[in-house]
Structure 1
Amino acid sequence: MRYLPLSDQDRADMLARIGIGSIDDLFADIPEAARLTAPMDLPRRKSELEVERHLSRLAAQNVPASSVPFFIGGGAYKHHVPATVDHLIQRSEFLTSYTPYQPEITQGTLQALFEFQTQIANLTAMDVANASMYDGSTAAAEAVLMAHRVTKRNKAVISGGLHPHYRAVIRTMSELADDTFDILPADPTGAEDILSRIDNETSCVVVQSPSFFGQLIDLKPIAEKAHECGVLLIAVFTEVVSLGLIEPAGTQGADIVVGEGQSLGNPLTFGGPYVGLFATRQKYIRQMPGRLCGETVDADGKRGFVLTLSTREQHIRREKATSNICTNAGLCQLAFTIHMTLLGQTGFEQLAMANHAAAVKLAGMLEGIDGVELLNETFFNEFTLRLKGKDAEAIVDTLADKGIMAGVPVKRIDPVSKDVEDLLVVAATEINTDEDRAAYAAALKEVLA
């Protein structure tokens, strides 16, 4: 029996209450071209065995990142994840844990979240970090909304070096408000003049370092100008391993630091789930989205952990919520924490050094090829090549046919920017060998000849 709890009158009353004429109006923001006008062209029924075989054939068309020379980055990175990480997160008490509403029975979950927050605060040199977000892009969007609340302004200045997907998510999450954006053009060389865009109407300035194009950005002059105008500096990163070598955004004057934590403990997994990182200054803690776990003592004086702040306020005052994020990326956060704990400070710094060294070696080999220009004067483990008049997408596809995953064509991930058709973002990590780098250089030289 179907369960149909609402009558036609119930639905009509609900639509009238929110001020729309029909249920179809709820989908007005979805482009017509993206809407289904008929059932999907799928078989009406298949046996379990038939479905399993069909999906296995489809899966076999994928190329596992570990099976070929792999140099794709652009916000998601292939790193070695110790087997210990997966072994531990598969334990039932971790794998099945849920929101820690009752501290008396969720001490393990709360402690793991507390340790994670401590790691993020230390990495970013910020006062406080929350218990994670969905991913780096939504963390960036939440940071902009938070800045609007803090400053009582609604204009965001967005660097041309910000990841295009982060930029799009920021706009999507803000489009129903009266927010305005000053978005600078794509900045592959790191030469943009963002200081001149900051004024007394600005709420926040959003800068990524290393940028989408791999450039390292000095945040100190930006922070100084921002603070003169009462503006918050939001520092973004997509490669958390870079924090093992680069000066933390907190010591450079950032007010909010957000980024993606996928590189530690989490494989690529076709783009998710990932884990968003969010840290800020103590004075802004009440405006921070997500939840915050704290350390305390129980009635017997023993160490314990509690859910200190939950700014969604889903328990008591939802109308005063600062965010609608309803949980954290718990299992991904735990994987991050385990991997970071296994590395320790020294190991993390050594991992960062190995990544930078791998990128330096690769950049040196590729920029010597005719028709290739390295656009970066600075980079961590990712840099941008100009393939001088060539279509970067076509080059990447050709190299893929040769078994080389050569990088991210900028036009593929940023279809709206101009003059980026020949730009290729290349990432190198600790997984790349000398043989991988040699194979890439030889194949690219052959394709460009």
Structure 2
Amino acid sequence: MPFIPHTQDEIDAMLAAIGVPQIETLFDEIPAGLRSSALQAVPEALSEMEVARLMRGRAAQDAGALSFIGAGAYEHHIPAAVWEIATRGEFYSAYTPYQAEASQGTLQLIYEYQSMMTGLTGMEVSNASLYDGASALAEAVLMAVRLNRKSKSRRVLMPRSVHPAYRATAHAIVHAQGIELVDLPFDAASGRLDPAALEAYADQDITALVVPQPNFFGVLEEVDVLTDWAAEHGVTLIAVVNPLTLAVLEPPGGWGGAGADIVVGDGQPLGAPLSSGGPYYGFMCTRQAHVRQMPGRLVGRAIDADGKPGFVLTLQAREQHIRRSKATSNICTNQGLVVTASTIHMALLGPEGLARVAAASYANTHALVERLRPLGAEPVFGGEFFHEVALRLPRAAAPVLEHMAAQGVLGGYELGGDGYGMSDAVLVCATETKTEDDLQRYVEALASALEA
């Protein structure tokens, strides 16, 4: 219901029945200092017509800019069929499928999603999604601690080339549980983690190592060497990946001699629009041997008593199903609708389509870099990059980006914050959605901004 339809007489009758004079008395245990006062900032009520007009105006402010911002949320073409199907009533209004006998369609779709994600990542098992990529990393850290029982330190090596929002989220979730996230610096020349830096930890008790691919700067890490180091030293390896790039890059299951132990990331590049920040969803894949420590839910395929195939929920080690102290996660739902869109998106594009999108994004970003060199914009790092690149500008980045935005071009993500201190650098991304004219428009907007 959109509201509680009780009349004042009904409310008075209920209060009288429980012997309470007024509703406020039900909250008398809350100290006065913690109670909110009158909501002064709430404006006067508007009619439906006035609200619709206001929201149309607000929506119009969020349109028309040509965006080259990536930094974890990427603009990709989404076939029209994706959300036409995902927003059908059968999917759009469905909640989590607790009652398997009434949710076979939803369960089958999630099963297909899990199969696709294991194919992309080269792992054996996928769960049915998490909240987002950042919290998925935190869950992976918690899972790694449960897995690596030989390690008693609860220390996790976290490169500073991991997305800063992911690092902050992981810290917020795990630091109070006695888990230490140890910062690893990235090489100033290449922009990637130097494998030699790990030797300082070779004789120490380390629980897990996080490896991003590509990293926050778009640079490709030396994943094979890092994975082999982790395996040699009994360290659980957590891969943080962009799922789209796995259409052309080596999947984490094939890294080094043993492959990654846990793979996480955000599913946004697979059919989710930018949407001013979400909702998105996190994915997690692992090895079959680790499946009982994986949080969230899994969907399995089974045969019923009549010999007919069906889909069921399985291995739900969650607080709603077993003792809370034994739960691997208190995640109470998944981002089911966005997962639905991703499944449809991957099914429509297929392996070849995803590979073409990844290849076009790679080509566009590299082409843009070459066009910008004559303006004095150069890559900050020398390492190979995918479809995102850190560019150093001839002057401070903030006013340049502001001037470009005034021309209708969102020129990138400024790297002056997040502890990187590169106030003259921007993180730029050009996906398959960008045309030759779009790239030229960026060049012209940057040239104008540098001259201003």
Superposed pair shares fold, TM > 0.5: yes
* Aligned equivalent of 2:285: 279
State the percentage of identical aligned residues.
43
Equivalent residues of 1:198, 1:226 under 8 A apart: no
The answer to whether structure 1 residue 190 and structure 2 residue 191 are counterparts is yes
Residue of structure 2 aligned with 1:149, choices 131, 146, 150: 146
Shift in alpha-carbon separation, 1:205–1:370, aligned structure 2, 3 A: same
Worse-matched range after superposition: 42-51 or 331-340: 42-51
Q: CA deviation at 1:240?
A: 2.0
Residue of structure 1 aligned with 2:329, choices 323, 327, 333: 323
- Supply the distance in 2 between the matched residues of 1:59 and 1:177 (Cα, whole angstroms): 42
Residue of structure 2 aligned with 1:432, choices 414, 431, 434: 434
* Aligned equivalent of 1:218: 222
Q: Deviations over 1:158-209 (max 9, x none)?
A: 1111000000100111132111121134666324334235443221111211
Residue of structure 2 aligned with 1:355, choices 354, 357, 361: 361
- Supply the distance in 1 between the matched residues of 2:179 and 2:114 (Cα, whole angstroms): 30
Aligned length: 425
* Aligned equivalent of 1:161: 161
Shift in alpha-carbon separation, 1:36–1:384, aligned structure 2, 3 A: farther
* Aligned equivalent of 1:74: 71
Shift in alpha-carbon separation, 1:423–1:187, aligned structure 2, 3 A: farther
The answer to whether structure 1 residue 92 and structure 2 residue 89 are counterparts is yes
* Aligned equivalent of 2:233: 229
Q: What aligned pairs does 1:34-433 form with structure 2 within 5 A after superposition?
A: 39-62=39-62, 64=63, 67-152=64-149, 153=152, 154-185=154-185, 189-193=190-194, 194-196=197-199, 198-199=201-202, 200-237=204-241, 239-252=242-255, 253-388=259-394, 390-412=395-417, 414=418, 417-433=419-435
Equivalent residues of 1:160, 1:187 under 8 A apart: no
- Supply the distance in 2 between the matched residues of 1:330 and 1:347 (Cα, whole angstroms): 23
Which amino acid letter does the alignment assign opposite residue 442 of structure 1?
E
Which amino acid letter does the alignment assign opposite residue 389 of structure 2?
F
Equivalent residues of 2:161, 2:192 under 8 A apart: no
- Supply the distance in 2 between the matched residues of 1:156 and 1:24 (Cα, whole angstroms): 43
- Supply the distance in 1 between the matched residues of 2:366 and 2:157 (Cα, whole angstroms): 32
Q: Which runs of 5+ in 2 are unaligned?
A: 1-10
Q: CA deviation at 1:56?
A: 2.9
Equivalent residues of 1:129, 1:280 under 8 A apart: yes
Match of 1:156, SS state, is: strand
Equivalent residues of 1:128, 1:282 under 8 A apart: yes
Equivalent residues of 1:128, 1:279 under 8 A apart: yes
Match of 2:409, SS state, is: coil
Which amino acid letter does the alignment assign opposite residue 223 of structure 2?
L
Equivalent residues of 1:121, 1:129 under 8 A apart: yes
Equivalent residues of 1:355, 1:381 under 8 A apart: yes
* Aligned equivalent of 2:5: none
Q: CA deviation at 1:6?
A: 12
Equivalent residues of 2:379, 2:389 under 8 A apart: no
Shift in alpha-carbon separation, 1:287–1:68, aligned structure 2, 3 A: same
The answer to whether structure 1 residue 444 and structure 2 residue 441 are counterparts is no
- Supply the distance in 2 between the matched residues of 1:325 and 1:190 (Cα, whole angstroms): 34
Shift in alpha-carbon separation, 1:371–1:266, aligned structure 2, 3 A: closer
- Supply the distance in 1 between the matched residues of 2:191 and 2:222 (Cα, whole angstroms): 10
Which amino acid letter does the alignment assign opposite residue 296 of structure 2?
G
Match of 1:443, SS state, is: helix
Bigger radius of gyration = 2
Match of 2:276, SS state, is: helix
- Supply the distance in 2 between the matched residues of 1:244 and 1:40 (Cα, whole angstroms): 52
Equivalent residues of 1:371, 1:448 under 8 A apart: no
Worse-matched range after superposition: 188-197 or 213-222: 188-197
Q: Deviations over 1:48-73 (max 9, x none)?
A: 333333333333222x3xx3432110
Match of 1:384, SS state, is: strand
Q: Which runs of 5+ in 1 are unaligned?
A: 16-21, 28-34
Shift in alpha-carbon separation, 1:273–1:371, aligned structure 2, 3 A: closer
Which amino acid letter does the alignment assign opposite residue 116 of structure 1?
Y
Q: CA deviation at 1:374?
A: 4.8
Worse-matched range after superposition: 79-88 or 228-237: 228-237
Equivalent residues of 2:129, 2:335 under 8 A apart: yes
Worse-matched range after superposition: 126-135 or 350-359: 350-359
- Supply the distance in 1 between the matched residues of 2:244 and 2:218 (Cα, whole angstroms): 13
Worse-matched range after superposition: 156-165 or 49-58: 49-58
Equivalent residues of 1:157, 1:197 under 8 A apart: no
Equivalent residues of 1:205, 1:226 under 8 A apart: yes
- Supply the distance in 2 between the matched residues of 1:330 and 1:191 (Cα, whole angstroms): 34
